[in-house]
């Protein structure tokens, strides 16, 4: 009796080793492993059934990545990780894989599909460029993921997510604008929030580097001050470069958001003081605000900024009114069109 070729099974197990010990029936068939062979491998405890068309290598440890990929593979080619799950896979600020339910994006609403504990999102159209593979798991790309989050999270949280994604090079602003125009035409969820966020960003020269900096920037806007530049480069008196969280260059004045992580140790505080003294010696004034002040003492932060900017302008012989928004400018400041005056980094 002729023995079957062992190579397809070996190739299948090699593939499973690269994708968290899982294999889909369709993948096995593509490697010329038949359903009869899969059944035999299951009976001999080489494989164990996880879903109707998904198998795992017996004895492989259960992991969070495996659980996500299992759900994706169970979708039989019409499901990818999306929403908060895709955000965690991409490393978006504030998202972790552990302790959250799997979120899937399904391409076809008509065909029945369910997965225990999963949150399902649906889309009638998704372009191939919007699907990427991260850690062997098919998921929405960073831009599509952010658009999904714009319809799931609060507008403030969605803006903070974009800050981190731009900082880490995961989302390019021009590409996000271009994708937004496509979403407008299709009327997808999250368009209004995404358009408002991208429109506001034209008013800021650089992207904030942390959630706390974004919150400081919001306090600046609510204080009725003109938009500062973020991560503004300043040459210190000692010749070294410093980057100020938010700054008004004409005033030679800026403000820093001191979070718990980067400003907690004695050495870090010593470095902060030396940096501030070097900036001051070079004629650049700086105000510092703690996490508690930005989060719980907004009135104090806003009053300090307004008073310092007014005094600084008078000291330099500038008109303080140039740094405060009029009522009309305040009403229009949040409604800049996402299609006009796109900011380009120089």
pLDDT digits (tens, 9 = 90+) for 238-290: 888 888 999 999 999 999 998 765 445 566 667 777 778 778 778 899 999 99
Burial per residue of 68-89, b for 16 or more beta-carbon CB atoms within 10 angstroms, e otherwise: bbbbbbbbbeebbbbbbbbbbb
Q: Are residues 71 and 197 in the same domain?
A: yes
12 contacts 27 by C-beta, under 8 angstroms: yes
In the chain, the percentage of residues whose pLDDT exceeds 70 is 86
| Confidence band of 110 (pLDDT split at 50, 70, 90) | low
In a domain, 345, yes or no: no
Give yes or no: residues 134 and 194 share one domain.
yes
Please tell me what DSSP assigns to residue 96: -
- Residue-level pLDDT at 242: 87
- Distant-in-sequence, close-in-space partners of 219: CB < 8 Å, separation ≥ 6: 294, 298, 301, 302, 305
Q: Quick check: pTM over 0.85?
A: no
Asked if 66 and 22 count as a contact pair (C-beta separation under 8 A), the reply is yes
pLDDT the model gives residue 1: 40
Looking at the structure, tell me whether residues 176 and 148 fall in a common domain.
yes
Say if 98 falls within a structural domain: yes
pLDDT band at 109 (very low <50, low <70, confident <90, very high): low
Alpha-carbon distance of 19 to 10, in angstroms, equals 15
The backbone region for 341, taken as left when phi is positive above 0, alpha when psi lies in -120 to 50, beta otherwise, is: left
In a domain, 274, yes or no: yes
Domain of residue 53 covers 8-60
Residue 311 lies in a domain: yes
């Amino acid at each position: 009796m002729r023995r079957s070729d062992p190579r397809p099974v070996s190739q299948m197990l090699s593939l499973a080793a690269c994708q968290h010990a899982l294999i889909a029936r369709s993948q096995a068939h593509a490697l010329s492993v038949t359903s009869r062979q899969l059944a035999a491998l299951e009976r001999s405890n080489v494989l164990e059934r996880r879903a109707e068309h998904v198998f795992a290598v017996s004895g492989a440890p259960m992991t969070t990545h495996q659980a996500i990929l299992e759900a994706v593979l169970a979708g039989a080619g019409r499901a990818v990780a999306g929403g908060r799950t895709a955000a965690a896979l991409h490393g978006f600020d504030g998202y972790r894989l552990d302790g959250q339910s799997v979120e899937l994006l399904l391409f076809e609403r008509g065909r029945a599909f369910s997965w225990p504990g999963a949150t399902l999102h649906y889309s009638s159209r998704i372009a191939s460029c919007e699907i990427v593979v991260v850690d062997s798991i098919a998921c929405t790309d960073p831009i599509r993921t952010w658009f999904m989050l714009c319809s799931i999270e609060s507008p403030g949280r969605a803006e903070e997510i974009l800050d981190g994604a731009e900082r880490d090079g995961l989302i390019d602003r021009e590409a996000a604008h271009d994708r937004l125009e496509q979403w407008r035409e299709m009327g997808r969820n999250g368009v209004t929030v995404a358009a408002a966020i991208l429109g506001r960003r034209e008013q800021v020269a650089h992207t904030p580097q942390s959630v706390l900096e974004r919150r400081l920037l919001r306090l600046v806007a609510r204080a009725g001050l003109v938009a500062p530049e973020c991560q503004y480069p300043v040459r210190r008196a000692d010749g070294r470069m410093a980057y100020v969280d938010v700054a008004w260059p004409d005033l030679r004045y800026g403000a820093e958001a001191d979070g718990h992580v980067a400003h907690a140790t004695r050495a870090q505080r010593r470095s902060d003081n030396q940096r501030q003294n070097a900036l001051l010696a070079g004629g650049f004034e700086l105000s510092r605000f703690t996490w508690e002040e930005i989060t719980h003492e907004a009135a104090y932060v806003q009053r300090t900024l307004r008073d310092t900017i007014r005094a600084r302008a008078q000291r330099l012989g500038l008109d303080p009114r140039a740094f405060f928004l009029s009522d009309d400018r305040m009403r229009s400041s949040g409604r800049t069109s996402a299609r006009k005056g796109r900011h380009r980094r120089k």
